[in-house]
Each structure stands twice: as C-alpha cells, then as structure tokens.
Structure 1
C-alpha cells in the first residue's frame, strides 16, 4: 500500500468500507473463514464487515490479496467511468437480491444508476433498470415496480432480451396482484413484438409464453392455458436451455394439478425440478421443490416422507435466496400439512404460527388455509367451538380476496368443514362463494320456455 492509499484508508468511512468488503466476499462466493485463512481471526473480519472496526494498512493489504482485488477497488477510488466497476455494482446488486437482501441491493443499484450513463452502449442501463424493478418488488413496492417496467417497455431503444425479461416480470406482477387482464395483454403485446423481430425461438420467449398461460389459467380459460403450455414445451425442447424447458414443464404441472389430475402433475413437476437443478436459479429451484412437495401431499395415498424432504430442503434454500415472504409462507404451510397427516398436531400448530408470522398479510390465501387447518386440529381434538371459531376466521380472511379462481377450492373445503360443526348457513354461503370463484353466476333472468300445443 502506498502513501496515497494509506491516506485514503485513514479518511474512509468504516461502515461503507465494511459493506464493500462483505459485498466483494459474497460476490466471490467465499466464506469469512476462507478469506481470512490464517492471517487474522474470523471475528475480526466480521467486525470489519459490520463497520465496528476499520482495517489496518496491513489487514487491508492482506484482504485485497485474499480476495484477489486491488486495494483501490476496496477503497472505491475514482468511481464512475470504469465499465467494470458499474458491472461489478450490478453483480453485487443481483447477488444481494438472490440472497434475499433488497435493502443492500438498493444501495448497489443507487451507485450503479448514478454512474451507468458514463458507459453508453454496454447494455448496463437496461440491466440496471430491470434489477431496480426487481428490487422495488422485493421491497413490497409492486406499483413502483410496474411503473419502472412499463417505462422500460415503452423505450424503443431497449434490446429484445431485456424487453422479454421486462415483459415476463410485468405480466407476473400483474397476475400476482390480481390484474389478470393486464397480465395477459402486456405479455401478448411483447410476444407479438418478438415474433415480428424473429425472436420467438428463445429461452426468454418460452418463459414469457408460460407466464401469459398462467394468467389465462387464473382467469378461468383453462383449455387455452394448457394449449399454450403444450406449445411452450414443444418449443422449449428445441432449445438447449434447461431453464426454458423447466419453466414450461412447471407451468404445465401447476395447471394439471389445478384441474385435479395430481397423478399427471407430479411427474411434470419432477421433470421441471431435475431441469432447474442444472442451472443456478436459487429462488425458482426452491419454489419448484416446494411445489413438488405440496403435490406429493395430494397423491392417493400421500407421499408424506418424500414431500417433507422436498419441503424442508426448500425452506433451507429459501433462507439464502430471493424468495418472497409469500413463497416461504406456502412452503411452511406444506410442512404443516405433512405434520397434520402424520397426526403431529403440536408440530403442525407451531408451523402454522410460522405461516402467519412469515406472511404477515402478504398472502391472505395461505393465511386462510392455515386457519382452516388449525380448525381441523381442534375438530380432531373434539373442540367443536374452537374449530367453528377458526373456520369463521378463515372465512373472514378469505373474503378479503374476493371471487378469485385460486380461492375456489378452499371455499369448497371450508363449506364441508363448516357443515361438520353445524354452521349450515355459513356452509351454504361458502358453497355459493366457491361457485362464484370458478366463474359461475346466478342468471337473474331465466330463458323463456315455450310449449308446443298438442296437435
């Protein structure tokens, strides 16, 4: 380290330097123990990363060597015009998102966005804006994420691949927030642009197709959704892309499951799981593993042990991926069902408490299912009054969703459970809501009937 660098170190902010050390270590995929080796203690490095201590000249020189970076990069010398520095900031942001740390990702993105105009023509501005939208979504700001993605799609200079990625994210967010019409229209608009540009045969185009299919399915157009998935599978098999094939098989599995054909859904999901395991998409691998586990619980008879193994592994993977609270809540709910099926009611209650704490209002459907399952535990223990109270709480929670196709099965289940505790009127209302959630409506004016007079 030269005198200039020593002076910079003396004036450096300990917290900012610590964040930079940690980000570089994570980007390298190294543990604290691997970084320090026998040069210093892990506890010392931990204090440096939290900003509790500032490294000495000797320690920073050693860390730069262990991390294989320059001392200047650790000190953030002359930021701004170096494309590699902006790219590195975006890499750190993406890594933070995948690690479930949106606040840290936002810090790196702020740094990258302030410099990205200095490196034109590199495609980094598009990547930065896509990551910014992901960061907004991960932070619970879906409306702001939608605006960012719409602005990106309105920009004629945005490349084809970035346009597809924005279309996938925008369609998915619209679907998850209940705006199915926009989820379909924005996805189909981008697909039409891809066909016109000759980009329909790509990994991302297959993913966009199945994203649009999911919106059609949620809207109740099951047949068209299944046809889209079948086409996507055919297209994906022509590509050398495990991710595209996994996406197509996964969505086909979900649709078969929702049609009630669990036997057909499980092998499709297992095929998708094997394909996704070949890649590096930690969040989706964990989500798919959880989906396989939940499907295995629906088999006749339920494959409880296999399901529990998949769900427990998914929980572990979600701890260090960019999985959302909604993803985690549904996975915990799957584990609670496995515990219920093996009569481990105490463990089931513990897991259901975790579901409520994890969801915290973000997934009312998962919370309603958790309340219904709690009611079933009370009913199994002959506590009818408590079971009735919990079923009614589930009804109240589910009512906040409205006539959503995804809620239809739970309304139907609740109707039977309410009947079981003598709440007949509430059960009849639940049956009506189940029908409404599938798209059935009462016809206020019956068609006129005519009689032919006997000749």
Structure 2
C-alpha cells in the first residue's frame, strides 16, 4: 500500500485529471470530508476505500496503491528526454506527475507538455485538453510569455479538434495577444496566427481570416523556417478554397509541399499529403488521380510509423476518395467499419464528415429518410456549436445528394454518379 502523503497526492491528481469534484467522485458511498482527509494525507486509506475510489475513477486499484518510482519529477524528465528512439516512458512520466508535490512548477510544465503531446498523438483529445488546461494555468503562474503563448496555441488546436471552436477562438486570440505584447519571435507569433486563421475559417469568418493571411504572408512567412512556412501556406490555401479561389488555393498548397523536400517532419509531411488529396477532390472537376496518388503517399508512410489515430484518418480519406470515384460499396464498407470502431480517434470535424458520407450513402442506397434525418441532425449540431464552415458543408452535401437521386425523365438518362458533379462539395 502506498503510504501517505503520497497516496493522497496521487488520488487528487487522478481526480483532477478527470475533471471531477470531490462530491462527484465520492457519490453516495463516501463522505467528502473523509475524501478530503485522504487527499491531504491526514488519514491512511483502507482497502475498502481504495477499491471504491478505484471503481469510481475507472482505474485498477494498483493505480492508487502501486509503489512510487522513487525518483523526482526532474529525474524522470531527464530519463524521458534522453531515451533512445522507440522508448515509451509515458507511463512512468504520468505516475511521476500524479505523485508530484508541485515543488518545481517548471519541471511539471515540461512533463505536462510531453504528456499532452502523447495524448494528441494517440487521438485522446479529452485527455489532451485536461493536460493543456493545467499547462495554461501553470504558464500564467510562471509568468513566462513563451510558455503562455505556446500552451494557448496547443489548447486552441485541441479544443478545435473537439469541436469547441469558441473556446479555441478565445485561446488563439489570447496566444496572439501574448506573442505581440511580449514581442516574441517569428515562430511563436506565426504559430498563434496560424491557429487563429484556422479557427476563423471554421467559424466562417473568412474576411478576418483573409486579413490575417495577408499579414502572415507579408510580415512572417519570409522569415519562417521551412516546416512552419509549409504549415502557414497550407492554412492560407484552405482560406483561399473557402473564398472560392481554387487557383490560389492550389498554388499555395503546391508551395507548401515544395517547402518540405525532405521528410524530417514526417507528421507534417503526411498531413500535407492528406491536405493535397482533399484539395484535389475539391477541384472542378475533381482531380481523382492526383488525390489517389497523395493518399497513397501518406498511407505508405503511416503503415510503417503511423499511430492508430493517423491510420484512422487515412482510412476516412480513402472512404471519401472511393465515394468520388463512384465505388459506393467500397466507400460504404470503409465508412461503416470506421464508425463502428469502439476507439474512434478522429477529430470532431473528421468524425462529422465521415458521418455525412455515411448519410449520403444511405440516401443513395434507397434509405433516404434515414440518411436525410442523419444529415439534418448533423447540420443542426454543427450550427449550434458555431462550426459554420462544417455546417455549410453538411447542408450542401444534403442538397447535392438529393439532386443526384431526384426522379429523372427516362429519356434523359440515369442520374449522375458521385464524382461526376460539376463541383465537388465534399471538403475534407
């Protein structure tokens, strides 16, 4: 049994990591006063209390009672950052953070930064948000402008991935304000501006996004490192596409791809290939061969080094590609298999778009009422959560699909098949 006060510290960390108050954790089986004394180290835990609390937290009892590592958080950080490639010290780092007494806020900040990256890599955006919320608070306590800006940029990206674009907007605006006020370098300012442009695009605020793109290209892009410049150009390309300027969007995306001639940043390299495939599907007419080539490039790399979340993202894109190629059964099999997975790690945006595809396929398979109801529900939810760009995609997809299955005069021929529309509407 882990002795006090270490047990209490670990218990409190686990509770806070799940966003639980003391009252919500104890439920009807324990008093908050007893829990408070456990967390403060005033009372030793009983086996019955450990079993009950572990069940309420959704962890094995050993997560509460397992022996402490014996090393300081700083020591664990040294081991993690110097580990050879392929080593996974995340569990040890997580335990160290749970047992940390908070004596070194800077070390705790670094540990939480690494753990938030691990959660993002695994597609666990809820856990990532919990880590990042503490990072934002810690950075304010440390009063370090660089940390304040960087934690808010990451928080904005994460909350956008969860579909909370208003929270993402607040964090992105705060990050850019910190970067400008503290006169941080190009990298931090550009990171904040990139994430803000992405959020503004999701909110449908294209005029503001366009102004920020102009600022980005004029003041920051010429001084940016190649990888960050590629991400900035990719973000600007999305804005051009939403503004209806397909030619500029393609030029910017091709410029982004050219900035990464090597593959030092495999994550960004594959993301840009996926973005290029999406842009090819949005062209008029869709450039299906180009899209298939880009998807194949990303898939080949991710089969070797991809995380489950990244592999799911590629499979979702393959489903969209199959739909545009008219391979409706392949698209149906791919989308249904993904949506049926218990551990679906796609972002909110990608999950919704995959569900939209599933709804369109239902309409085309003579299950119109079911498909229409699903798309209407998704459209309302996106609008209510302020995801304006996503809502527009959903309603346009519904209108396009209904037009595809409208009754036709027999002399006029069969309705058009997906992929042959004059303008593709499935922005990925």
Residues 112 and 319 of structure 1, relative CA distance in 2, 3 Å threshold? farther
- The 2-side partners of 1:418 and 1:118 are apart by 58
Aligned residue among 174, 186, 201 for 1:202 = 186
Cα offset for 1:422? 5.9
Determine the structure 2 residue equivalent to 1:392: 373
Q: Deviations over 1:129-151 (max 9, x none)?
A: 21223344543425413422322
Q: Structure 2 unaligned segments of length 5 or more: list them.
A: 1-68, 408-428
Stretch deviating more after TM superposition (190-199 or 354-363): 354-363
Determine the structure 1 residue equivalent to 2:169: 184
Determine the structure 1 residue equivalent to 2:331: 348
Q: Deviations over 1:279-300 (max 9, x none)?
A: 6333332222111101112222
Residues 317 and 125 of structure 1, relative CA distance in 2, 3 Å threshold? farther
Map 1:20-419 → 2, pairs under 5 A: 80=71, 86-90=77-81, 106-110=90-94, 113=97, 124-137=107-120, 138-142=123-127, 143-158=129-144, 160-199=145-184, 201-239=185-223, 241-276=225-260, 278=262, 280-319=264-303, 325=309, 328-357=311-340, 359=344, 363=348, 364-375=351-362, 378=365, 385-403=366-384, 404-405=387-388, 406-418=390-402
Q: Deviations over 1:323-360 (max 9, x none)?
A: 674x6555334323333343333333332234424547
Q: Deviations over 1:94-126 (max 9, x none)?
A: 967xxxxxxx563042255479899979x6543
- The 1-side partners of 2:72 and 2:102 are apart by 6
Residues 376 and 388 of structure 1, relative CA distance in 2, 3 Å threshold? same
- The 2-side partners of 1:151 and 1:177 are apart by 20
- The 1-side partners of 2:380 and 2:308 are apart by 23
Q: Structure 1 unaligned segments of length 5 or more: list them.
A: 1-77, 97-103, 379-384, 424-455
Residues 85 and 114 of structure 1, relative CA distance in 2, 3 Å threshold? same
- The 2-side partners of 1:298 and 1:421 are apart by 21
Residues 374 and 401 of structure 1, relative CA distance in 2, 3 Å threshold? same
Root-mean-square deviation over aligned CA pairs: 3.6
Cα offset for 1:91? 5.6
Q: Please state whether the residue corresponding to 1:401 is helix, strand or coil.
A: helix
Residues 165 and 82 of structure 1, relative CA distance in 2, 3 Å threshold? closer
* Greater C-alpha radius of gyration: 1
Check whether the contact 2:312–2:345 (CA below 8 A) recurs between aligned residues: no
- The 2-side partners of 1:281 and 1:264 are apart by 25
Q: Please state whether the residue corresponding to 2:285 is helix, strand or coil.
A: coil
Residues 348 and 284 of structure 1, relative CA distance in 2, 3 Å threshold? same
Higher relative contact order (CA 8 A, sep 6+): 2
Residues 212 and 397 of structure 1, relative CA distance in 2, 3 Å threshold? closer
- The 2-side partners of 1:357 and 1:283 are apart by 26
Check whether the contact 1:167–1:190 (CA below 8 A) recurs between aligned residues: yes
Determine the structure 1 residue equivalent to 2:18: none
Check whether the contact 1:283–1:321 (CA below 8 A) recurs between aligned residues: no
Cα offset for 1:208? 1.2
TM-score, normalised with respect to structure 2: 0.65
Check whether the contact 1:256–1:265 (CA below 8 A) recurs between aligned residues: yes
Cα offset for 1:214? 1.5
